[in-house]
Amino acid sequence: MAPMVEWLPWFGSAVASAIFLWSMVQNHVPDTLRLYLTTRAAKLAACFNPYHEITISEYGAKRFQRSEFFLAVEAYLSDACAHHARRLKAELGKDSKNPQITVDDHEEVTDDFSGTTLWWYASKQQSKANVISIYPGRDEKRFYRVVFHRRHRELVVGSYLPFVLSKVRAVTINNRQRRLFTNNAGGSWNPHRAKSVWSHIAFEHPATFDTLAMDPDQKEAIINDLMAFQEGKEYYAKVGKAWKRGYLLYGPPGTGKSTMIAAMANFLDYDVYDLELTAVKNNTELRKLFIETTGKSIIVIEDIDCSADLTGKRHKDKKASGDKESDDDDRPKLPMEPEKDDDTKVTLSGLLNFIDGLWSACGGERIIIFTTNHKEKLDPALIRRGRMDKHIEMSYCRFEGFKVLAKNYMDVVEHELFGEIQQLLEEIDMSPADVAENLMPMSKKKKRDPDVCLAGLIKVLKQAKEDAAAAKAKEEEEAKEAEAKKAKDKKEGEAKKDEGKDKALEEANGDLIKQGDK
């Protein structure tokens, strides 16, 4: 201890002398020489420093956008390393459903990768006072710095940083708020402003496959198909196909087609793009809409048979429209007169290219869904395999679907009236929506008795059965009347025909008699 005490005054004197000499150097040594000495000193110190560092700035080449790499590192540290930090901050990011906990500024966290320890620093640097920033909110420069031993340089650059980018995608998808998009009518397209072609709200539909009234085997087959698609990126690349899949949902109204779409989106955790074809001006605009969609999304065109005239035929030549229309085309247009839209419609060819053309391969992990009440009205080219890969019939409610509804609406799994209901559902075509309406409680305060609900459903089913029988009897009676009328008309026609023949024969005989008299 004594030698150390004797050494301390000498050390303090040396430090004071060094500080004094450095101040003298700054005052008397030229700036160029001082910069050279500082640079050489830094290089000399670096030779003895075994650690390297990589800095990721908040703003890179795109001055108006935050660096995607910076956001990826921020999301990764919040998920993988934030539990090591003592100082954190919470933010609710854009399109995020949960608060994002991130590492606070000037905080250090460690990470381990393949047995290698890395140190992350969240830093912030104040801009110089005499520099005026032209970008709002850029007075402070934030960045992340990762420090590692120089012998792990190839591991960090070649493996660790790509791992961070791949890992963060799943983190971002799980944390973000899923959205329901719709296309804007007549919106001008701007590649830097997605809002010009799509607008969105939060997607909060509660439907799941557990609440979907459908045959369990069919439901399981759909779930397996969706899982195979979601995990099939390498397979699709191997067979040379775009990573997309088409589903055609067809069936009568009220059979759950829209609910099926919501259940798919919730199962896959995908965004939903509800495409309204009547608001699309032409094929070019349809293509631009597709480009603006993102991966991990479902593109939906509901009631495809009613959405637009998809014949793909050109309009008739204007010359065949009449002199009046030709004269109208030749006259000058008034300033406020709207343009004609004869050549601004989505055609069948344009829609086919949208589904299965070259542009459909832009991006990946997309599902395209068409719904229709009348499958037979659709062009076969539109729904062939390869475009609509899987056809799903959404049929009337049967007993297996009813049991799901009874469990959802009344928490009833077994009941003595189930047998009668099963028999009636096999005989009567009733949509799941109509069945569910009879199982819902009358109010929030008063919960309906399952006995009353099921008895009411039986009454409705029996009435529907009687109405169906009456309608069938009426149809048969009308068919008999039509057949009888047809037979009567045929008989009267034959009688008139025979009468005409007799009259013609009499006239011929009369002509012969007159000739004989002459």
Instruction: From first to last of the 518 residues of the chain, give the pLDDT tens digit.
Output: 444 445 555 655 666 676 666 666 666 666 666 666 666 665 655 566 788 888 888 876 555 556 777 878 877 777 666 566 666 666 655 555 556 666 667 677 888 888 888 888 887 766 554 444 444 444 567 788 888 988 888 898 899 888 888 776 666 666 667 889 998 875 544 444 444 588 888 888 999 999 999 989 999 999 999 999 999 988 988 998 889 999 999 999 999 999 999 999 999 989 999 999 888 888 888 888 888 888 889 999 999 888 766 644 434 444 444 444 444 444 444 444 444 444 457 888 888 877 877 777 777 789 999 999 999 888 888 888 888 999 999 999 999 999 999 998 888 999 999 999 999 999 989 999 999 988 886 655 556 788 888 999 999 999 998 988 888 888 888 888 888 888 877 877 777 776 776 677 777 666 666 666 65
DSSP for 424-457, written as a single string: HHHHS---HHHHHHTTS-SSSSSPPPHHHHHHHH
CATH H superfamily, domain 180-316+343-393: P-loop containing nucleotide triphosphate hydrolases (3.40.50.300)
Provide the b/e sequence for 151-186 (b: ≥16 CB within 10 Å).
Answer: ebeebbeeebbeebeeebeebbeebbbbbbbebeee
Which contacts (CB < 8 Å, 24+ apart) does range 307-311 have?
Answer: 307/276, 307/277, 307/278, 308/277, 308/278, 308/280, 308/345, 308/346, 309/345, 310/346, 310/347, 310/348, 310/351, 310/379, 310/382, 311/347, 311/348
Torsion of CA 146, 151, 154, 155, to 10 degrees: -70
Instruction: Give the whole-angstrom CA distance, residue 212 versus residue 218.
Output: 11
CB atoms within 10 A of CB 469: 11
Torsion of CA 360, 361, 363, 364, to 10 degrees: 90
Q: Which two tokens stand for residue 139?
A: 């007075």
For 86, phi then psi, to 5°, come to -95, -25
Residue 209 and residue 401 in contact, taking contact as beta carbons nearer than 8 Å: no
- pTM equals 0.64
Let me know if 122 is exposed, middle or buried by CB neighbors in 10 A (0-12, 13-18, 19+). buried
End-to-end CA distance of the chain: give it in Å, rounded.
169
Q: Rounded CA gap, 36 and 44, in Å?
A: 12
Where do the DSSP E strands lie in 40-86?
51-57
Strand 198-202 to 297-301 pairing: unpaired
Pairing of strands 51-57, 88-91: unpaired
Which residues of 114-173 form beta strands (DSSP E)? 116-126, 140-149
Domain limits, the chain: 25-128+136-175, 180-316+343-393, 416-483
The angle formed by the CA atoms of residues 260, 467 and 406, to the nearest 5 degrees, is 40
Phi, psi of 406 (to 5 degrees): -65, -40
